[in-house]
Amino acid sequence: MQLPDVPEEEAIATVHRAIELGINHYETARGYGNSEERLGKALKGFDRSSFILTTKITPKHYQSYRQYIEESLDRLQVEYIDNFDIHGINNDEHVDWTFRNGGALEALREA
């Protein structure tokens, strides 16, 4: 869900309308401008168990992932995120960053 080019009030109203219509899975990414912050504001006050939350993070080394996970939790204003997608595994270096010991996948498993 990328809503960076609309006023914040409109973005929040869009999410609230989606909730009213029964939509319960929201997907965003740290690379989608300010969408994590806006989605966090829109979902604030709703029962956390009533929706599924997915965000995407590009492959980096372990320490970056730990930081990215914490930053996403803060921006989304939640205690947990249901799904973290490793997004943009485009070359051998990304595969290494993701799957090696101390890599991104290890950071996600520990989160």
The reply to whether 26 belongs to the active site is no
CA angle 17, 50, 1 (to 5 degrees): 50
Q: Are 52 and 26 in contact (CB under 8 A)?
A: yes
CA angle 67, 76, 72 (to 5 degrees): 15
Catalytic residue among 32, 65, 68, 80: 32
Catalytic annotation, residues? 32
